[in-house]
């Protein structure tokens, strides 16, 4: 059964900031990369448990997107009862762990 993928305000803000940072509005290559990232996020509607749990919390998981050194972490939690995936944060993989930021 498919899950509903929802982005928190924080995750939506992360996407907007990333779009601006990579100049996706002015670069076809950047825009194509951004579309692939969004597609990867939306792919969590099928089998979100395929992604591993993370150290920031046992109920949290992440989907890695991109190639080194530009790997991004899509941090989310699965709400099994509601068949919902809640995307909490999208961040560069080189950043430190969340340390309580997941629900921002």
pLDDT tens by residue, 20-71: 998 998 999 999 999 999 999 999 999 999 999 999 888 999 999 998 888 9
Nearest CA to 74 out of 6, 24, 27 is that of: 6
Hunting for tokens 């995936």 — which residue is that?
85
User: What's the predicted TM-score (pTM) here?
Assistant: 0.85
SS3 label, residue 20: helix
Work out the mean pLDDT of the chain and round it to a whole number: 90
Q: Residue 75 in contact with residue 57, Cβ under 8 Å?
A: no
pLDDT of 103 reads: 46
Share of the chain above pLDDT 70, in %: 88
Mean pLDDT of 86-97: 82
Indicate if the pLDDT at residue 104 is higher than 50. Answer: no
Domains in the chain, CATH or no CATH each: 4-92 (3.30.2310.20)
Contact indicator for 44, 85 with CB cutoff of 8 Å: yes
Span 7-17, pLDDT tens digits:
999 999 999 99
Q: Tell me the three state secondary structure of residue 63.
A: strand
Phi and psi for 86 in degrees, rounded to 5?
Answer: -105, 110
């Amino acid at each position: 059964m498919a899950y509903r993928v929802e982005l928190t305000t924080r995750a939506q803000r992360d996407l907007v900031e990333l779009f601006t940072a990579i100049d996706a509005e002015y670069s076809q290559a950047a825009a194509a990369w951004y579309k692939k990232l969004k597609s990867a996020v939306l792919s969590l509607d099928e089998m979100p448990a395929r992604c591993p749990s993370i150290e920031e919390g046992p109920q949290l998981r992440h989907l890695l997107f991109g190639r080194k050194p530009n790997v991004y972490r899509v941090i989310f939690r699965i709400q099994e009862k509601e068949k919902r995936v809640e995307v909490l944060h999208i961040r560069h993989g080189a950043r430190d762990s969340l340390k309580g930021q997941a629900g921002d």
